[in-house]
Amino acid sequence: MTDSTSRRVTANLSLSLDGRYHGPGGPGDFGRFIPYVTSDVARNHMTRMWESATTALLSRGNAEGFLSYWPSVAEDENADPRDRGYARWLVGTEKVVLSTTLTEAPWDHARVVNAPAADVVTELKATGKGDILVNSCPSIIKPLLAADLIDRLHLVITPEIVGGGQRLFEDGLPGSTWTVTHQETGELGETAVVYDRVR
């Protein structure tokens, strides 16, 4: 039996200097982020985040968006090896998709769960092994932060003030302390940083 504290919950997101994960144009406004998230620093960061993960926790939007992109990267011999590594992991790993509307899983090795993120994570921590990765899903990351269930944050901080859009860290979160376990800055000024929750 696995100890319920042995699985880390890790989360990944790119943020602007003013703490936004998209621009003022709405959830699809990522133009200011694109140059930074395809850099060497960001790709190395991506590799670090999935190497110890055995479960991907996704929202419906991310599951469907990822399905339209990553499986083809997994088969593309000309793709960056780091992108292919992540894509192959994502295609083959266990995926839990949080949705109130899906009736069947959009991917192989996936199941749909209609339950609060905190409840799903608590169950996953008690029943499996390896890290649980929430990759670029603010709708899941936010409630997990509110429930103090995230153990590691992988952030790419871009040197942009976008001036609008939603923030990851909103007022009302419980206080917490974090320590930096990795930091790297790229040629464009983007910083990949890994924070571990101090408990």
Domain segments of the chain as ranges: 9-171
Across the chain, what does the average pLDDT equal?
A: 92
- Per-residue pLDDT tens over the stretch 92-126: 999 999 999 998 888 889 999 999 999 999 999 99
- Helices and strands, number each (H, E), in the chain: 7, 8
Instruction: Output the pLDDT for position 2.
Output: 38
Task: Give, as one character, the DSSP assignment of residue 20.
Answer: B
The answer on pLDDT for 1 being more than 80 is: no
Interval 126-162: pLDDT, tens: 988 999 999 999 999 999 999 999 999 999 999 999 9
Tokens for 39, please give them. Answer: 């850099």
In the chain, what are the helix, strand and coil shares in percent, each to the nearest 5? Answer: 30, 30, 40
Distance CA 79, CA 5 (A): 36
- The pLDDT tens digits for 50-80 are 999 999 999 999 898 888 899 999 999 999 9
Measuring CA to CA, which residue among 50, 60, 136 is closest to residue 93? 50
The answer to whether the beta carbons of residues 51 and 199 sit under 8 Å apart is: no
Q: How far apart are CA 67 and CA 57, in angstroms?
A: 14
Classify domain 9-171 at the CATH superfamily level. Dihydrofolate Reductase, subunit A (3.40.430.10)
**Is this prediction's pTM over 0.75?**
yes
